[in-house]
Amino acid sequence: MPRPRLCRRVRFRPKTTYFKPRGIPLRELETITLTPEEIEALRLKNIKNLDQKECAKKMETSQSTFQRILSSAYKKTAKALTEGKAIEIREN
């Protein structure tokens, strides 16, 4: 049985929850989903310019967990941009 997932602090809710390549109907696109934790990690690290220790502290998680969340967000975002996929930001 897997370990239960812990709640992480997310202080940001984006106004827009879908992004897609221009000129391609959404029904023709594959979608990549980002979690609220992944968006928060991207925001803290890249917009707020905090170091990983500070980011992890603000999200109330360990630094290694923060790194895994951030790495997942980077990978998903890069895949969507390079392969022309839509990005959905899931709301809990």
Torsion from C-alpha of 40, 46, 50, 52, nearest 10 degrees:
70
Say whether pLDDT at 1 is over 90: no
Tell me what pLDDT residue 3 has: 57
Tell me what pLDDT residue 5 has: 59
Quote the pTM value.
0.84
Q: Provide the CA 70 distance to its chain's centre, in angstroms.
A: 7
pLDDT tens-digit map of 9-42: 666 777 788 999 999 998 999 999 999 999 999 9
Tell me what pLDDT residue 86 has: 96
44's enclosing H/E stretch is: none
